[in-house]
Amino acid sequence: MPVKIDKSSSKAGAAAVSIDSDGTYLELDEKGQKHYLKKATITLSDCLACSGCVTSAETVLLQQQSQAELLRVIQDNEHFKEIGDIDKVKVVVLSLSPQSRASLAVDHKLTDVQQAGGKLVTFFKKLGVQYVFDTTFSRDFSLLESAREFVRRYKSSSDKSLPMLTSACPGWVCYAEKVHGSFVLPYISTAKSPQQVMGSLVKDYFAKLLMKRPDQLFHVAVMPCFDKKLEASRSDFYDDVSHSKDVDCVLTTGEVNALIKEQEVVLSNLDVQQFDKPFSGSGVDDIYVHAGGGAGGYLEAVLNYSANKLFGLELKDISYKNLRNKDMREVVVKIDEKTELKFAAAYGFRNIQNLMQKLRRGRCNYHFVEVMACPSGCLNGGGQIHASLKADAAKVILPQVEQIYNGLKVKLPEENEAVQVLYREWLQGDSVESCSIEKLLHTTYHHIETQTTSLAIKW
């Protein structure tokens, strides 16, 4: 498939914009030197005149994470191969989220989700991507690390160990850092999201497997929301030694769909290929899903694991009770007369705001909360294809996306043998003291001072 490139939108050699740990924007030159960008002064009238809340630095950052950037790298690769400058050829690796796969399957009328995944693998490989991974695999690590962390916190006597709040949603994490800052950060799990675990896996383990430096790999993630672009740009996920980001470019599902159309490809006509394995071995036979819905199944994975590790229970069914609305649900597991595990899922900022109020007033009696910024979770993310439709049309599509997402066999993260092998080979065991686990699978958060008086926004 000859790659079609719109050269006008392709920016060769643009300096990389990143977000530092204190939330300021900086440019990294080719040697990895940091140049802090000046803060823009914006008046209220500027605010009202603009069409969104994206700053100019964010615009550059978003341009760097675009279809044009992926095509530029693929085109540069062809050029460097032609002139024999092989050291400059990058290995292009793409990690596809299961939420994006489901959205694309529905849009292209592919009812078999296994096949839809296989056709997408073929599309990306014809485009010039060498390896295509499924982020369900890295989510196994994210779920397991969240569960192990929860068990440690439950046993700990620290005031701020519970409730443990999930960390996989950058929309929520960004809000927590800016609005609630140091008050809430200790409650947030330190486990990296599936996108960033895949970043560690690709730029650390997989690069070594290929005998390449991390900067010789260009890692693209396909995700259901724009917030994942900001997550990939955090300085926590930039390696000063190799001058390399764990995830170089995030494309939303809608952007990939635009790319498919731009390339004039009919997805249903393509062959089916297997996803690659991000570890030694050939393709992946079957793709699978985690129980508990399109936001990743954190509540169920942590509940199953901790009920077993703490109380020796094997949970058969997990039944949810809707509270104020379908995006605020809770699960209570009675252990004995005196003990219970009380978990909740809070989706959308309206529910998150209520949760934060309870936490501040000392009236939040949950042990664990799966917190996600989007109502209905990641299958309904702002980067999904139906997100660009009118609300009525989007409402019809969402149940179809949910149905196809769930149309796979369900696996517990601890059932994945390859994950256990990688704990041994890549992370030198699963001990809490393992420096590799801390560095590669966990992260930190930062209180971000906002300069303006925040308005009392109600969702």
Q: Which residue is nearest to ligand SF4 (CB)?
A: 381
Single residue of 28, 113, 162, 169 touching ligand SF4 by CB under 6 A: 169
Half-sphere exposure of 315 (CA within 13 A, CB side): 24
Q: In the stretch 2-41, what mask flags binding to ligand SF4 with x, by CB under 6 A? A: ----------------------------------------
Gap between the Cα atoms of 325 and 425, Å rounded: 45
* Interaction of residue 352 with ligand SF4, rule CB under 6 A: no
From the centroid of its chain, how far is CA 144? 15
Site for ligand SF4 in 214-233 (CB under 6 A): 224-225, 227
Question: What CA–CA distances, in Å, run from 159 to 154, 182, 353?
Answer: 11, 14, 21
| φ, ψ for residue 155, nearest 5 deg | -80, -15
Residue 27 phi/psi, 5-degree rounding, is: -105, 140
What string marks each residue from 355 to 374 as x (binds ligand SF4 by CB under 6 A) or -?
A: -----------------xxx
- Structure letter (DSSP) for residue 362: T
CB 255 within 8 A of CB 383: yes
Nearest residue (CB) to ligand SF4, 196 versus 244: 196
Q: Is 143 in the site for ligand SF4 (CB under 6 A)?
A: no
- Residue 23 pairs in a beta bridge with none
Instruction: Tell me which of 378, 385, 401, 419 binds ligand SF4, using CB under 6 A.
Output: 378
CB of 399 to ligand SF4, least distance (A): 17
**CB of residue 256 to ligand SF4, shortest distance in Å:** 15
Residue given tokens 């056709």 in the structure block: 119
Binding-residue total with ligand SF4 (CB under 6 A): 12
Q: Find the binding residues for ligand SF4 in span 293-332 (CB under 6 A).
A: 295
Q: Which amino acid, one-letter code, is at 282?
A: S
- Give the nearest distance from C-beta 96 to ligand SF4 in angstroms: 15
Indicate whether 171 belongs to the interface with ligand SF4 (CB under 6 A): yes
Interatomic CA distance for residues 93 and 124, integer angstroms: 10
Give me the least distance between CB of 376 and ligand SF4, in Å please. 9
Cα(119)–Cα(108) distance, rounded to whole angstroms? 11
194, 199, 381, 413: which one binds ligand SF4 (CB under 6 A): 381
C-beta closer to ligand SF4: residue 135 or 306: 135
Residue with smaller CB distance to ligand SF4, 202 or 250: 250
Contact 168, 194 (CB under 8 A): yes
How far is residue 153 from each of residues 37, 158, 310, 434, measured CA to CA in Å?
Answer: 39, 8, 11, 17
In the complex, the residues that contact ligand SF4 under the rule CB under 6 A are 169, 171, 224-225, 227, 295, 372-374, 377-378, 381
